[in-house]
Chains A and B, each alone.
Chain A
């Protein structure tokens, strides 16, 4: 199947990228580090992204450079950040999801099998459809990877991370580093996050109202946005299949049948109309997906990252309380008091630091979320209006033309 997409080893135009970035939460006001993914190459199940960096920072050797990176490199970068203890008080931008080209590939394969049973016209149409779908998946993939890097570059602390800079600059394969990294870190925070559960959080009495509220909010919000995302995905899928089914299969067949039955003339005019409407509808569906579903999906992951922060803080709180208990015990036993005090102080410091940066992070997250929702909702509404207007302007003349000609 992949040879079908040879023409899709694509270079996304800057306009397209601009359009795609709409979902991203671009808070990068700092021009000192600009990152983008100008093109990407799809080879079998691997996608090779070209990560392009433009910078004025002295920590980089050159002001402008590009490196090839794979999806796994992004995951590595994300994991190293999560597992860096210093970043425990930060919302680590969610890792981009694994590119999934399976479904369009499979469809393409099926299409190839069904080639014999289809008319040339049908085949061409179907192929175009699938290519468009493939391209959409591709673009989306590039987009989420780009967003991940931009989130990092716009973060005051994370942008200075050593591993991030290596990721951007190191012009060799990162595979070796990836392996080493795994051995080095052993997944401290990762494991912690995984074992953390509601009990851990709820078992500890919250000392800070802000975090108490945030906790309640995020837990609730997460379940809601997760539901919304699922529903939006379902709706988009239904919309897409509807559009495909309705406009391609059904309507064409209906009109073909009508033609057969009534010999109604000039139905091809209507066919044209529906072809146009279908294209508009297609744009509606993909815009809906881009503006709404992707937004929800992204914030679902982002909220998960925020929740992770809360887990880490809760863990730090628990550590602090444990250290308090240990100190009490030590005092009771009058044994190892200085160490216990030191440990308690250390835990408290860690917790306070975490709370402080967490508070900042969560507040900024809130602002970011509202801005992103605003932007996307406005854009979606505008696009919906635009598309509906297009359809309602192309329809009457075509219909009239048909009615007149019958």
Chain B
């Protein structure tokens, strides 16, 4: 703020930069230098930066890192004037880190471009990396070096995550695209992109480590000049940090970046590790530190599946197992699909990515090429299926085999659908070892006080339960009560608590009134199924199954009556969810998401919600059509029977009444098919519309945690200002108190930040799990649907084959 006037933002360097790049295809070094200058200007307020010890400089790198991918993806159009301001915030961070976010992200995101995109992206990348290096030197000499350092690294651990995720997307996109369009309408340089991607993939499979490290030294050695330049003044000012050290720091940063790939996969960020051995990890034993695990996994997978899937596949397996490995402790579910969803949003990025990639083909820009190659490498790993798809459509593809469950899918060409189904079932069994069925809906009581009770049967091999099978009786409100308890307990921690079907006044009233029509039976059956799926989702959740309330619900004979479920009834429930989502969207604006992954996910969730609603309407209309056909068939059957009775030729009369029977059965088939549509799709889609509400809820809780952290930071900031004033006023007595307060709030900030990170990690994990489950669930539904279709075809054959002799008997 105060710095803005002092700062002399150079309005041109950036644009010049681009021009130069454009016109002369200047090498990475040039651009780096330019950028360096550029950045230097922004960083030329080191005193300020220095003064502010509170600044979590971590934010800066985070931003930068985030921005880099954003750039790439959005095909940014650089506004020469605005982009320099980008460098401003670098120092502004000191006072208002959140504002900074805004500035940075805004600048970069609204700096799109068409033709220059590649160069810009590259330039930005270079810039970004130098920026990191700049920021670090400046903060190192700060008052609390150790703390800060931790901060840096911690935040960096976040940052690389972002980068990885996004890079994933970008890489995946081209492969995807090229596959979809088969290279027909690709943007210029797409062919190259494809090549690049493939190359990357190949590289990955063969020597990922080599590749990575080959370029790492390159980048670190390449950067020092820049750093020197920039740092020199700093050195003068601070007299503390020698350029060499800076170079090292830079490399540290780089290392962290890569190390995080490993660590970000872990549920909790490993802060200490990175602080302790950054240099070591970079130069000493990089393999072990960075890729030890993935490599190992890769090797293993390669051995186990060599014949089946080669290069890319193997690598994919390696990565996914790498991801899955650490998670397995806490979460048996394997996050193979982590990045699959991301790919969806990435489609628009294809163009820019490809240009970047093609650009990287140039000899001069090897450094950048490397940067992107790395990204490509990591990312292509995460999209094994896409790669596969592209590489060999004919190959019996294998799903990312990171969990034992997925293994069943990898078996090539099982004998039949049923077998597959069985295997899947086995997979489920292996995983969850618990099955819930909700049966025998029963109306209890009379009139408007009536309610529905269900038999909840559990079958399990889990040791936490006393018996292997047990059945309890629960009424609908008990299900809602369970949800309330669970969402109260686990919601704030970022867990996605599966929601039960909402109360339906209309449906229940019909049941209560005792109308025995088909719609009321349909309602009861739909709800029974929804409750069953709801409970199964709850017990499938590795954390929720541990909850005593869940166990009590399943096991205890008599459950205390749930009182507060009224709030959940019908519209109220929906309103609740909607409120939560409103809050989320409002907060999103305020928060200006520090983590692109979450931002994108939220957008995806919203888009998915829209899709689901449309899909639901479509399926419902399909059901309507089927019912119409069924109705018409029924009336034709009746009419045919009448015609048969009017026919005076006995054999023909008989054949006609047989035909009427066949048509009657066909009507039943159509009805079954309508039910199949309903239960295979419509109901499950309705579930997911509800579940998406819960997903949004978990995002909401994350926002809340963030807000708390930010509030604490604001307080801390104020306390520090007070301290400074006291220091100025020379009041040592009060100063002590202020110092204590600062310490207290620092602890709080740290705590809240940790909380936020914990919630973020949980949400991330949960979303990954949710998506995986979702894909699996729908796959199962489709298989089921197809089976149903097949069955009805076979029934049809049976009916007509039975009719044929009747027709032949007509004489």
Q: In the complex, what distance in Å separates the CA atom of A385 from the CA atom of B414?
A: 27
Chain A, residue nearest B420 (CB): A403
B472 adjacent to chain A (CB < 8 Å): no
Binding site for A on B (CB under 8 A): 340-341, 343-344, 385-386, 389, 396-397, 399, 409, 412-414, 416-417, 420, 607-608, 611-612, 614-615, 618-619, 621-622, 625-626, 628-629, 632-633, 635-636, 638-640, 642-643, 645-649, 651-652, 655-656, 659, 681, 771, 774-775, 778-779, 782-783, 786, 789-790, 793-794, 796-797, 800-801, 803-804, 807-808, 810-811
Evaluate contact between B783 and A254: CB separation under 8 angstroms.
no
* Leading 3 A-B pairs by shortest Cβ distance: A374-B810, A377-B807, A231-B636
Evaluate contact between A388 and B790: CB separation under 8 angstroms.
no
Q: Collect the chain A residues with CB atoms within 8 Å of residue B651's CB.
A: 370
A264 adjacent to chain B (CB < 8 Å): yes
Evaluate contact between A264 and B778: CB separation under 8 angstroms.
yes
A182 adjacent to chain B (CB < 8 Å): no
Given A373-B810, A384-B800, A238 contacting B779 (CB threshold 8 A)? no
Best-buried of A225, A261, A366 by chain B (most CB within 10 Å): A261
Shortest distance between the CB of A354 and any CB in chain B (Å): 22
19 additional contacts (CB under 8 A) given A239-B632, A270-B782, A385-B800:
A224-B639, A224-B642, A224-B645, A225-B646, A228-B640, A238-B629, A242-B626, A260-B344, A261-B612, A262-B778, A263-B344, A370-B811, A373-B810, A378-B804, A384-B796, A388-B800, A391-B793, A396-B416, A404-B413
- The residues in A between 209 and 236 inclusive whose CB is less than 8 angstroms from any CB of B are 217, 220-221, 224-225, 227-228, 230-232, 234-235
Pick from A38-46, A245-253, A318-326, A333-341 the stretch touching chain B: A245-253
Chain B, residue nearest A262 (CB): B775
Contact of B618 among A250, A263, A399 (CB under 8 A): A250
Q: Mark A192-210, 1 if CB is under 8 A from B, else 0.
A: 0000000000000000000
Contact of B639 among A227, A263, A366 (CB under 8 A): A227
Evaluate contact between B790 and A238: CB separation under 8 angstroms.
no
Evaluate contact between A254 and B652: CB separation under 8 angstroms.
no
Chain A, residue nearest B808 (CB): A378
Q: In the complex, what distance in Å separates the CA atom of A203 from the CA atom of B711?
A: 100
Q: Collect the chain B residues with CB atoms within 8 Å of residue A395's CB.
A: 786, 789-790, 793
Q: Collect the chain A residues with CB atoms within 8 Å of residue B807's CB.
A: 374, 377-378, 380-381
Q: In the complex, what distance in Å separates the CA atom of A363 from the CA atom of B464?
A: 82
Evaluate contact between A373 and B655: CB separation under 8 angstroms.
yes
A175 adjacent to chain B (CB < 8 Å): no
Q: In the complex, what distance in Å separates the CA atom of A388 from the CA atom of B793?
A: 5
Q: In the complex, what distance in Å separates the CA atom of A235 from the CA atom of B664?
A: 13
Shortest distance between the CB of B688 and any CB in chain A (Å): 8
Evaluate contact between B779 and A403: CB separation under 8 angstroms.
yes
Q: Collect the chain A residues with CB atoms within 8 Å of residue B618's CB.
A: 250, 253-254, 257
Q: Collect the chain A residues with CB atoms within 8 Å of residue B607's CB.
A: 260
Given A388-B797, A403-B779, A232 contacting B646 (CB threshold 8 A)? no
Q: Collect the chain B residues with CB atoms within 8 Å of residue A369's CB.
A: 649, 652
Evaluate contact between B614 and A224: CB separation under 8 angstroms.
no
Q: In the complex, what distance in Å separates the CA atom of A246 from the CA atom of B630?
A: 14
A266 adjacent to chain B (CB < 8 Å): yes
Evaluate contact between B632 and A382: CB separation under 8 angstroms.
no
Q: Collect the chain B residues with CB atoms within 8 Å of residue A392's CB.
A: 790, 793-794, 797
Evaluate contact between A381 and B797: CB separation under 8 angstroms.
no
Shortest distance between the CB of B355 and any CB in chain A (Å): 24
Evaluate contact between A400 and B417: CB separation under 8 angstroms.
yes
Q: In the complex, what distance in Å separates the CA atom of A230 from the CA atom of B639?
A: 9
Shortest distance between the CB of B346 and any CB in chain A (Å): 11
Best-buried of A225, A245, A373 by chain B (most CB within 10 Å): A373
Evaluate contact between A254 and B619: CB separation under 8 angstroms.
yes
Evaluate contact between A373 and B652: CB separation under 8 angstroms.
yes
Shortest distance between the CB of B88 and any CB in chain A (Å): 39
Evaluate contact between B636 and A257: CB separation under 8 angstroms.
no
Shortest distance between the CB of A95 and any CB in chain B (Å): 23
Q: Collect the chain A residues with CB atoms within 8 Å of residue B621's CB.
A: 250
Contact of A245 among B622, B771, B790, B804 (CB under 8 A): B622
Shortest distance between the CB of A105 and any CB in chain B (Å): 25
Chain A, residue nearest B799 (CB): A384
Q: In the complex, what distance in Å separates the CA atom of A235 from the CA atom of B622?
A: 16
Evaluate contact between B632 and A238: CB separation under 8 angstroms.
yes
Give 15 CB contacts A-B under 8 Å: A231-B639, A235-B636, A246-B622, A254-B619, A258-B615, A260-B611, A374-B652, A374-B807, A374-B808, A374-B810, A381-B804, A389-B797, A395-B789, A400-B417, A403-B417
Contact of B625 among A217, A245, A402, A405 (CB under 8 A): A245
Q: In the complex, what distance in Å separates the CA atom of A254 from the CA atom of B685?
A: 11
